[in-house]
Amino acid sequence: MTGGQTGALAALMHVMDALDGARLSLTREKRTQAEIGDLLERAGLAARREVVLDAVSVIDFLVGDECEAGVGIEVKLRAPRMAIYRQLERYAASPAIGGLLLVSNTAISLPGTIGGKPARVLSLGAGWL
């Protein structure tokens, strides 16, 4: 793992820690996004909402300094797994993305990296167990 990937993974894990165990809405994506925004703010993480990555890609959150590649967070409550993965591949191609976090109640696993960038899944159901 390169130094950039190591830093991106550390940032990704820090974001996951801020959201871990939270009981987030499982019914409305916009409500879930608002709850995530609140958690990130309380954790002192700088997050921008609805960030345009290219002509067809808008990620739900980009966490981190605007001058560096950040952690992209995508929230998906109901979507086919392959559609989610293809969307994450598009996001990973952006230089603005250093790592990806999928927050979802869809049963899905991801490889450790997508497009050479660390990727993780945070299961919404886990906060309710």
pLDDT of residue 68: 82
**Measuring CA to CA, how many Å separate 15 from each of 36, 86, 88, 93, 103?**
10, 22, 17, 20, 11
Average confidence (pLDDT) over 113-121 = 96
pLDDT, one tens digit per residue, over 9-43 is 899 999 999 998 889 988 899 999 999 999 999 99
Q: How many domains does the chain have?
A: 1
Return the CATH number at 19. 3.40.1350
Structural domain of residue 123, as residue ranges?
3-128
Compute the chain's Rg from CA coordinates. 13
